[in-house]
Structure 1
């Protein structure tokens, strides 16, 4: 059996492939890619939800790859983050960052998000094609997370470039090099903040304690890199995918133009319809686990296809339709269980504010190219556009 997710058409539209696989079995073995290991791919909603919250599926990648040969040279701060850990270590680290992403904390950031959004839109040219990804979806969350962490404005272009290489290049050597650039930068930033303390999130993590236990230097660097990268990559794809989905559904975008107060309640359906994460990060079985009638032996990698689960007809009637009246809060786009994305409130606030400004300022915005000409990032982990060319002004 060949892996159908390796088909070039999969990047353009993965949902027919997911539907075909799910119709055969919601959990099935897929062959290894180049240099990889055979894995079990989950495409059913119930099975995905169970897997994301099952303690027998570990995220401790260091334990899984211990003693195994690898040609990869990812920096440990990128390879072994909070996302790649299990309790009690994960519980301890997550506790230290959760307060930065509470509803109250995000509310305080909303005026800054609005100012950045409008400043970016002010730069859009008149009567010219604009790339929503490059001019809004990328810089907005980069500026927000850098502001939150305390990254100097002069360093933000480098951070943006390294993060793009980490997620979008598809070239292992480029990805590995970017991981070292980010980790080295974070190491230097932490040292600088120790000598000149401030009140940004990174400063608070430097002095944070969990009881009598201060974060180690390795933990600080890893946590800083994770927040820096994950804090904007998901939001970039979320915003780009949401804009495209609305442009492809004229009645729904018109509805939000006329009733912008409904944008906030529409975000979960937009997340369900085309999530920013296509496949959840790595997990493996610590013992034999049965999911969807399939027994997965111990020690096997498990990939949870978020995009497939979010369109499972067993859970969502007419799943391939965008329906802003749908109650979609149970989507899995931010994960589920103890690893659910801690930054979800911030991501939703950024996209809500950006969509409101975009639809208010450009009521006639439309795609500049046919949908089939759009290009997508060449990775199975994230689901995001490389470019989204639009014409903001009337024809």
Structure 2
């Protein structure tokens, strides 16, 4: 992997799929990842690109923007999910939304100038997604967006703005649930650009389900082995609306402290959240006996922990989907969700941040077992294959038109 900071852009191109003896047209695709949720989604797409027979030969350049820049954690995710080493790393690092987005745009433009791809492949809704979409669209390079059309209706969420703008810039949009198709239609995006493909995040979950690290092993390493038999709940918090405001965080910690009296909490603590707890003088919450505070976990460890949990309490979008696929009750401590299918069909309950509502939902789960739901349509482990098959046909036909 080579770092890109100036004009030094390597053109390391990886052929995707079995190409021996092929005389079909070739196209060049730049696939972009920037943050750990992207890694989970792109893993399924790269696997499908390398194994699916396609109407056009697709050569892939994998670009990591460096938005999530924890090298050890990134390496662990790449190794566990079988993602090849990125060809190019932009090393964008942290900063305000403006600084991070601008840095990615400047460095990604140099990549496009030297690689000259036919299209770029984007996943999710992080700053890397909108930054790369903007650069490609202005250079008249086709933009393909996987996980398009999800909407929370809350424009105070940075991710909501990223989703809205990326979809408007995209030429091919792949959606995970029917509601996303309706959202895009309301926003004026023609139906012939939109494909209901299913959920690539669930592809990765189903592919690796048997390799999940048992919760007992993870908990034993943390000195909490008995919880694997006695029962526990998993907590994840990282949304700015929940952790950056000291008052909001304090209220959540109070309700978590109450819940911990009913069921032990296993809390992989996001670095942002740990810093916020310290800044608010709440770090003592992590030290009490009924709270098991862990460092951020690898994919296999987190998967095993969620699969064996009594329930999960979170503000993560991806975890709402993963718990639905696992059949584990999920309480989402947000006022809205961009993934309504997890509520309508899955195991998710939107609680908001009202302590009384959260506590009542916890009591319901402990008394009745909570929602089990069903797995939504096309969350069957084959979404990436459908995307690659459609993408190759679309590229072979010229990539559509605006």
Asked whether the two chains share a fold, i.e. TM above 0.5, the reply is no
Taking structure 2 as the reference length, the TM-score comes to: 0.24
Higher percent of residues as strand: 2
Higher relative contact order (CA 8 A, sep 6+): 1
Higher percent of residues as helix: 1
